[in-house]
Chain A
Amino acid sequence: MEMSKSIKRNKAISPVKAILYMILILLALIYLLPLLWMLMVSVKTNSEVLTSPFSLPEVLQLGNYIFAWTNGNLGTASLNSLIVCGISLVISLLIGSMAAFAIARMKWKLANPAMSYFLIGMMVPVHCVLIPLFVRFSGLHLTNSLVGLIIPYTTLSLPMTIFLMVGFFKGMPKEMFEATCIDGCSIYGCFTKIALPLAKNGLFVAGLMTFVGNWNELLLAMVFISDPAKKTLPVTLTYFVGPYAVNYVQMFAAIIIAIAPTIVVYCIFSNQIVDGLTAGAVKG
């Protein structure tokens, strides 16, 4: 299978290579066609979907999008998702890298136990804390509020953030911190002026994993939020679930509105995103 390492390198495409490319293209179609089909259905009428599935729509039914946007509350939902994920991202990066800095660079006896403690969190599925959290949060009137989502999202992102950032801080040269400290900079200055800016890549990777994970999170949001004005994007889409969901055109319009921003961002930054998420998972 080690094609490029093959000693003979012909200019002409070998049959093996042709077959490999065929497989890759076929697979790419399995990935892209459903998404394209969805796009096509979203601008048809419901009866067109049934009677002429493969033809282009006679009239572009852009009304589907307007219906999905207003009836599905997608505007509110997108805003909610953005607020929840944005704030969780900032807080978890900040306090996660603070803890990581203390664990990686400062000298205290409990640094290693503290690290292990945080790492336990990576193995715990969110399902396990759902019930106690729900009971506690309803008592505190934190269900049906965005704050009630931001707190668990931030917490659940911490283990991964701390793990990644410890790796990045440990990789920095010791002399840099010593020089700064000799210059009379406090430990807080060391952290904000030296460590954080140097760990930019780490922050990017951790932030990406946090944001993508929280943006798509369904279970917790579904349990905690029942007020339509507070729902996040994945929860809003479940409106369309169920045996009576026959309104595919508007459902697909809603899905496309929901995933289009992700796809656009992905297309622009795909290499950084794929590499970043992979780096995160490799270290995790």
Chain B
Amino acid sequence: MERILRDKKAITIFVAPAFLLFTLILFIPILQVVYYSLCDYNALTKPEFVGIKNYIDLFTADATMRTALKNSIFFMIFSAVTQQIFGLLLAVILTNIKKGRNFFKNIYYLPCVLSSAALGLLWAFMFNPKMGLNQILDFFGIKGPLWLSSTSGFVTLPMWVIAFVALWQYLGQTMMLYMAQITGISPELYEASYIDGTSRAKAFRFITLPLIKPMLITTLSLNCIGSLKFFDLVYNMTQGGPNHTTEVLATHLYNQGFKYSKYGYASAISIVLLGLCLIVTFIINKTIKAEVYEA
């Protein structure tokens, strides 16, 4: 038995395909992207080392990058806050009703499995100046705003609209994760506390909240990293326009890299994106893990 489980040849055969694929397609490209980000490199030339020039340009001379960074961070904060509040609220409501629980749960989760490219087009219609939502508002005699082409404000109206659509699409996921965690809490804990005369609000505060804390890390990481990576909805709803005001990191990267073929510059953007993802994951894990309770 021992001998069979230590069979070096078998281990190699089992691990090698995944290891090779992973190294060639994911790991080496990450190292390459770090190198490219330090190069002047476009589709026609060979990469030429220029140090941190791309990063300096990115943060000093690129107005679109500032917008993209602002929008991505807005996205992250908005979706983290709203997803946590509404996701948890829905989970608590749904775990406490019996009739129709699965029905509602499945409806709210539906957009999570649909293509956000398709849903982006649908919502682009809903927020069209002449169609969709504005037709409803028109019906009541209200003149609807230009949802997706307004450019005023620090965070422009189209960004709020896209952030709302993202919330609409992914709320089901946060809700489901919290539901899974809440249904895992032993009912005896609640019964004991009710016998002791605890109010429902207090039971929620002192039993439910502490026990779902591990899920806070998972959902918050998913919300934050998901929104930093955001591309499909923005691309299909506004394409970063009007005048680059709805650009996010991923669309900026896509445009620089594949519309203008500035590979080196776009690599620097992807490093910024990767850095943000790592920092956010690190902060979430460090600040929350400190007080995880034994379930």
The residues of A with any CB-CB pair to B shorter than 8 Å are: 1-7, 17, 20-21, 23-24, 27-28, 30-32, 34-35, 37-38, 41, 49-50, 53-54, 95-96, 98-99, 101-103, 105-108, 114, 117-118, 120-121, 123-136, 151-152, 154-156, 158-159, 162, 178, 181-182, 186-188, 190-191, 212, 215-216, 218-219, 222-223, 233-235, 237-238, 240-243, 245, 248, 251-252, 255, 258-259, 262-263, 266, 270-271, 273-274, 277-279, 281-282, 284
The minimal Cβ–Cβ distance linking B191 to chain A, given in whole angstroms, is 7
Give the contacting residue for A238; candidates B111, B117, B263; CB below 8 A.
B117
Give the contacting residue for B122; candidates A96, A99, A108, A255; CB below 8 A.
A255
Chain B residue at minimal CB-CB distance from A125: B229
Are A218 and B117 interface neighbours, CB within 8 A? yes
Q: Can you list 5 contacts pairing A with B, beta carbon distance less than 8 Å?
A: A1-B96, A37-B126, A102-B11, A216-B117, A262-B114
Q: Does B161 contact A (CB under 8 A)?
A: no
Chain A hits for B215, CB < 8 A: 282
A284 vs B180: C-alpha distance in the bound complex, in angstroms? 14
Q: Does B150 contact A (CB under 8 A)?
A: no
Chain A residue at minimal CB-CB distance from B215: A282
Chain A residue at minimal CB-CB distance from B236: A241
Are A128 and B200 interface neighbours, CB within 8 A? no
Give the contacting residue for B273; candidates A127, A151, A271; CB below 8 A.
A127
Which 8 interchain pairs have the tightest Cβ spacing? A102-B14, A99-B18, A132-B29, A132-B32, A129-B29, A234-B117, A3-B96, A155-B25
The minimal Cβ–Cβ distance linking B124 to chain A, given in whole angstroms, is 8
Residue of A118, A218, A245 with most chain B CB atoms under a 10 A cut-off: A218
Chain B hits for A129, CB < 8 A: 25-26, 29-30, 33
Are B108 and A5 interface neighbours, CB within 8 A? no
Chain A hits for B249, CB < 8 A: 127
Name A's interface SS. Answer: helix
A4 vs B18: C-alpha distance in the bound complex, in angstroms? 48
Chain A residue at minimal CB-CB distance from B111: A31
Chain A hits for B229, CB < 8 A: 125-127
Chain A hits for B117, CB < 8 A: 216, 218, 234-235, 237-238
Question: Quick one: given A5-B190, A255-B121, are A108 and B254 in contact (CB under 8 Å)?
Answer: no
A156 vs B26: C-alpha distance in the bound complex, in angstroms? 8
A171 vs B115: C-alpha distance in the bound complex, in angstroms? 34
Are B97 and A17 interface neighbours, CB within 8 A? yes
The minimal Cβ–Cβ distance linking B167 to chain A, given in whole angstroms, is 11
Chain B hits for A262, CB < 8 A: 113-115
Question: Quick one: given A1-B96, A95-B21, A127-B270, are A107 and B6 in contact (CB under 8 Å)?
Answer: yes
A187 vs B131: C-alpha distance in the bound complex, in angstroms? 63
Q: Does B7 contact A (CB under 8 A)?
A: yes
The minimal Cβ–Cβ distance linking B161 to chain A, given in whole angstroms, is 13
Q: Mask for B1-21, Cβ within 8 A of A = 1, else 0?
A: 110111110110111011101
The minimal Cβ–Cβ distance linking B39 to chain A, given in whole angstroms, is 11
The minimal Cβ–Cβ distance linking A139 to chain B, given in whole angstroms, is 12
Chain A residue at minimal CB-CB distance from B222: A281
Chain A residue at minimal CB-CB distance from B96: A3
Q: Does B201 contact A (CB under 8 A)?
A: yes
Chain A hits for B30, CB < 8 A: 124, 128-129
Give the contacting residue for B26; candidates A24, A155, A212, A263; CB below 8 A.
A155
12 further contact pairs, Cβ within 8 A, besides A98-B17, A127-B270 = A3-B96, A3-B97, A17-B97, A95-B18, A108-B8, A126-B229, A127-B249, A129-B29, A130-B257, A234-B115, A241-B239, A281-B173
Chain A hits for B271, CB < 8 A: 128
